[in-house]
Copies of this chain bind each other. A is one copy, B any other.
Amino acid sequence: MRRPIHHHPSPRPHQPADAANASGKLAWKPGTLLAPVPPVLVSCGGAGEWKPNLITIAWAGTVCSDPPMLSISVRPERYSYALLKGLGEFVVNLPGAAQARAVDWCGVASGREHDKFAKSGLTPLPSLKVRPPGVAECPVNLECRVTQTLELGSHTLFLAEILAVQVDAALVEPGGRLALEKAGLIAYAHGHYFALGRCLGHFGWSVRKQPGGGKR
């Protein structure tokens, strides 16, 4: 098995650690330090000349609520690049901790050398609206169609609309709520994968009425 092909190097500081300013800050080399980001298993191919393939992407994000859209950024030299360009469709599979090793391996190995579904033991999940299969073991599968690509430098940004979603039935509560907190999702920060830890609050909690009757 080959070595990681694009490890993200740690930026080096511009100045020694004793050169912190009055706020206790050091200037650091400009780099991709936004964190945590979602390390997702992106499936592509599955039609035409392309077998289904998997690539791990941490440069991903939601970009629009209506229509629901997300983006992924991919280096043109990656094997999956032609599959993404060629079909214009992919599935973003959110991994749980049980898929963490596969997530790492699918980010290191290449579809040029491996049938990643077979070798990782992950199961293709028929998609509802796109040709690439999802990953059955992943608790959430977002089926996407590319709307635009932008060449930014090392990476090409794929903007895509989310056309269909599949979720593990076990995550849906009797009342219909999606209990995503039970999915055991994982995060990526500065070269490390993390489980999600304790819940700190829900959206809007800072302005909800307190039990004592007051508001904060």
Contacts and interface: CB of A to CB of B under 8 A. Distances in A.
A148 B141 CA distance: 29
Number of chain A interface residues as a range: 35 or more
Interface in A183-209: 185-207
A7 B181 contact: no
Interface in A96-120: 97, 100-102, 104-105, 107-109
Nearest to A9: B65
Chain copies in complex: 2
Interface stretch (A29-37, A43-51, A81-89): A29-37
Interface in A49-94: 58-71, 73, 92, 94
A30 B155 contact: no
Nearest to A162: B30
B11 A165 contact: yes
Contacts of A26: 166-169, 172
A123 B25 CA distance: 13
B187 A192 contact: no
Nearest to A58: B62
A200 B206 contact: no
Contact of A10 (B6, B23, B152, B177): B177
B202 A192 contact: yes
